[in-house]
């Protein structure tokens, strides 16, 4: 997925394990912006097992690692 196609607040899945958890996009960070120390764009996501969970862990993914929900 391209960074421009990501919508803040939408749910996505990780392409390596699309059946496991949900990634809710919180912010898309450009290279070297805020807490992104990488030289590429990342999506700051809340990663949770259930779609209706209240809390999850904060993870950073490349936009190409995220896929749209199929369910």
Dump pLDDT digits (tens) for 24-62.
Answer: 999 999 999 889 999 999 999 999 998 888 889 999 999
d(CA 23, CA 1): 13
Q: What domains, with CATH codes, occur in the chain?
A: 3-68 (2.30.30)
12 confidence band (pLDDT: 50, 70, 90): very high
pTM: 0.87
Cβ burial of 6 (10 Å; 0-12, 13-18, 19+) is: buried
d(CA 7, CA 23): 12
């Amino acid at each position: 997925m391209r960074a421009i196609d990501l919508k803040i607040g939408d749910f996505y899945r990780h392409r390596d394990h699309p059946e496991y958890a949900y990634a809710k996009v919180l912010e898309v960070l450009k290279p070297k912006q805020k807490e992104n120390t990488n030289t590429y764009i990342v999506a700051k996501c809340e990663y949770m097992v259930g779609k209706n969970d209240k809390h999850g862990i904060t993870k950073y993914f490349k936009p190409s690692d995220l896929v749209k929900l199929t369910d």
